[in-house]
């Protein structure tokens, strides 16, 4: 078992950070490329450093082109849901599976919605999906429904399918929606590409795609704001920091861009400045830090681990709202964080178990600004940020295998 020991530099952080492309952006773009046979704009460097989730999406779509019947998407939840929708309209019999944890994560809402429209999807005892693809979309009714109370990805999958229906479609969101910002990201990407759709509260109106009248062009995938959050937290924890995050925009539509608003409101000693296509982050005197803050994570749930660790490190009491669905992520993140912080308090060099969760590994790495820490299975970061540890080295952290 690999264990890394991470130590922060004594002085403020300096250097440059290179983020991967956002897996949320790229996986939506890849699904649209598959459904509408569009070219994709991605550089060789971005292709080389892809998050593992995007690699899995690429491989799965390549297998689809070769008429495979078995698809193992490992622990990639976004791919699991998006590929379910794609396979449901792809003629033939397909089996879609993954890790035990993945197969226990929410997807029943998507299955029920697609089957109500005419798809043929059943779930095996182990949780894998048996899918018989057929051309049900054009025969479906014009009102689609989806429960969004545990994930918005299922709604995103439906929205991306809807222009194929050859008629206007209205999608109604059921339940109390979570992570609507990610659904809005899907809608934003589609609008940039040339699709016609709007969301008004819980109703999404989607116009059919007419290749004779519409010219579509997929946007370039953005850098990963989810990954940027760890470095903003590190700057807050390491007073006197001044470093650059490359190719990141403050005017991004990525949901986790909302972290900046939280930082500016509650941690004003952290400054973010747009310099051309990069962001310069500096941190100054922390004397005006609030002792108690309240944050609603309903639309930026992936930033909860980062802010939880940041608040712990600064001695700030965090009242978190909108975190009920944390337990259905790659791990039960609320419990894992609490256990890890308790363990850190008892012995900072006792290796922390990240429960095969990339966001646990990266957020807990921020504790190294307090004391050196050790993390088990550090390679889990490849899911979203393959070169995360390299970027810490760029900021003069000391990392060694023990």
Residues counted in the chain: 402
Q: Which of 153, 179, 206 is the last residue of a domain?
A: 206
Q: What is the pLDDT of residue 74?
A: 95
Helical (H) or strand (E) element with 32: helix 23-36
Q: What is the three-class DSSP state of 258?
A: helix
- Do residues 234 and 197 share a domain? no
Domain carrying residue 163: 23-206
In a domain, 229, yes or no: yes
Same domain, 47 and 98: yes
Q: Is residue 211 part of a domain?
A: no
Give me the pLDDT at residue 45, please. Answer: 64
Tell me whether residue 216 is in a domain. Answer: no
Which of 153, 181, 206 marks a domain boundary? 206
* Cα 29–chain centre separation: 14
Total domains, the chain: 2
Alpha-carbon distance of 313 to 53, in angstroms, equals 30
Q: Establish if 153 belongs to a structural domain.
A: yes
In SS3 terms, 37-65 reads as CCCCCCCHHHHHCCCHHHHHHHHHHHHHH
Residue 68: its H or E element: none
Domain check: are 262 and 380 in the same one? Answer: yes
What lies within 8 Å, CB to CB, of 337 at 6+ separation is: 305, 308, 309, 360, 363, 364
What's the pLDDT tens digit per position in 260-270? 999 999 999 99
Could you tell me if 29 and 147 lie in one domain? yes
Together in a domain, 28 and 170: yes
Determine the angle formed by the axes of helices 52-65 and 77-88, rounding to 10 degrees. 20
Rounded CA-CA distance 86/73 in Å is 14
Domain presence at residue 100: yes
The 8-class DSSP code of residue 20 comes to: P
Out of 80-94, 98-112, 284-298, pick the least confident: 284-298
User: CATH code at 396?
Assistant: 3.65.10.10
- Shared domain for 325 and 251, answered yes or no, is yes
pLDDT in tens, 28-76: 999 999 999 998 877 666 677 899 999 999 999 999 999 999 999 999 9
Task: Tell me, yes or no, whether 202 and 314 share the same domain.
Answer: no
Q: Are 250 and 194 in a shared domain?
A: no
Sheet of 14-18, strand order: 14-18, 242-246, 278-283, 270-275
Cα 392 to Cα 108: distance, rounded to the nearest angstrom: 39
Model pTM score: 0.92
In angstroms, the CA 115 to CA 14 distance is 53
Residue 153 and residue 272 share a domain: no
Share of the chain above pLDDT 90, in %: 86
Q: In whole angstroms, what is the distance from residue 154 CA to residue 195 CA?
A: 19
Same domain? For 152 and 278 the reply is: no
* Residues 157 and 15 reside in one and the same domain: no
Evaluate whether residue 213 is within a structural domain.
Answer: no
Last residue of a domain, one of 175, 206, 237: 206
Q: CA-CA distance, 240 to 63, in Å (whole number)? A: 49
pLDDT of 337: 93
Residue pLDDT, tens place only, 359-390: 999 999 999 999 999 999 999 999 999 999 99
Q: Which residue has the tokens 């930026």?
A: 300
Whether residue 360 sits in one domain with residue 280: yes
């Amino acid at each position: 078992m690999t264990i890394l020991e991470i130590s922060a530099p004594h002085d403020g952080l300096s250097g440059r950070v290179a983020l991967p492309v956002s897996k949320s952006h790229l996986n939506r773009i890849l699904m649209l490329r598959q459904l509408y046979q569009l070219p994709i704009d991605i550089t060789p460097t971005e292709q080389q450093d892809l998050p593992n989730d995007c690699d899995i999406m690429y491989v799965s779509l390549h297998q689809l082109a070769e008429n495979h019947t078995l698809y193992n998407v490992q622990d990639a939840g976004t791919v699991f849901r998006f590929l379910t929708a794609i396979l449901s309209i792809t003629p033939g019999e397909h089996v879609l599976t993954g890790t035990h944890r993945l197969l226990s994560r929410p997807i029943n809402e998507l299955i029920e919605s697609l089957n109500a429209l005419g798809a043929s999807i059943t779930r095996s005892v182990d949780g894998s999906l048996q899918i018989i693809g057929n051309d049900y979309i054009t025969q479906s009714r014009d009102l689609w429904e989806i429960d969004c109370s545990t994930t918005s990805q299922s709604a995103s999958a439906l929205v991306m399918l809807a222009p194929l229906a050859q008629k206007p479609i209205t999608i109604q969101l059921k339940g109390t929606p979570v992570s609507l910002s990610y659904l809005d990201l899907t809608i934003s990407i589609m609008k940039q590409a040339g699709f016609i759709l709007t969301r008004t509260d819980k109703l999404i109106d989607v116009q059919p795609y007419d290749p004779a009248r519409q010219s579509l062009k997929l946007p370039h995938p953005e850098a990963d704001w989810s990954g940027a959050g760890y470095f903003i937290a590190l700057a807050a924890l390491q007073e006197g920091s001044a470093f650059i995050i490359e190719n990141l925009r403050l005017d991004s539509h990525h949901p986790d861009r909302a972290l900046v608003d939280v930082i500016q409101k509650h941690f004003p000693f952290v400054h973010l400045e747009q310099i051309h296509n990069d962001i310069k982050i500096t941190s100054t005197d922390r004397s005006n830090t609030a002792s108690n803050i309240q944050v609603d994570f309903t639309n930026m749930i992936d930033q909860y681990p980062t802010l939880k660790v940041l608040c712990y490190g600064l001695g700030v009491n965090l009242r978190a709202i909108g975190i009920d669905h944390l337990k259905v992520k790659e791990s039960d993140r609320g419990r894992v964080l609490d256990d890890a912080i308790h363990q850190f308090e008892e012995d900072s060099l006792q290796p922390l178990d990240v429960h095969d969760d990339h966001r646990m590994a990266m957020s807990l790495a921020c504790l190294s600004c307090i004391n050196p820490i050790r993390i088990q299975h550090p390679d889990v970061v490849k899911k979203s940020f393959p070169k995360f540890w390299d970027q810490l080295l760029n900021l003069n952290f000391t990392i060694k295998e023990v």
